[in-house]
Structure 1
Amino acid sequence: MGVIKLKNIRTFSFHGCLVEESKIGSDYSVDLKIKTDLTTSCLSDELNDTVDYVLLNKIVVEEMAIRSKLLEHVAQRIIFRTFKELPQVSKVTIGVSKLNPPIGGDVESVTVELTEDRN
């Protein structure tokens, strides 16, 4: 088994419960970690024997572009889509962070992190 991580995928998205958030948007950061068998790709040095992180990034960017009220919801969509499109992935951990959230304080970010194993 092995792990592939994409750290600090940056997007500008429109998530949030406030009407203003749906109009002005915010900066987000996503960390994605997947677990998969890397044995074959370690030996073959072939892209088709591994999980292409370009596709992982594409899934994150496309799902982040779809508005959600809750970070939990968008994170779960990314997990579902990763499992659907990449059957070799056995586990996904994702952290979705809203940078400078409008919560009435000096807070750098708020993060929701989910981990799921393939059933």
Structure 2
Amino acid sequence: MALYEHIFLARQDLAQAQVDTLTEEATKIITDNDGKVVETENWGLKSMAYKIQKNRKAHYVMLRLDTPPAAVAELERQTRINEDIVRYMTIRVDEHEEGPSVQMRKNDRDGRRGKKERN
């Protein structure tokens, strides 16, 4: 099986519970196709560089996957159909990074400083 990182951006008007449901649906698609989700990271609601489908912000979620290519194809197909997801990207990696991603480390560091997100 191959290693992948799948990141999707969900609409800004969704509640956190709805974002969690989207994450669970993605996990179910992978496990139903003989793969596994190694790690899930929710980066929270962040500002985007430009508007996408009238959204200035989005909920960012990253999944680290160990799965066959057919499962990734099905995940991307289902993601394209879902109107709550405004963007997604899946990349194949040689190995998963140990510990939290760079974005999570940045969020932790900013949280300690008391930095607030700009609008």
Give me the TM-score of the superposition, normalised by structure 1: 0.38
Higher relative contact order (CA 8 A, sep 6+): 2
Larger of the two Rg values belongs to structure: 1
Q: Which has the higher strand share?
A: 2
Give me the TM-score of the superposition, normalised by structure 2: 0.38
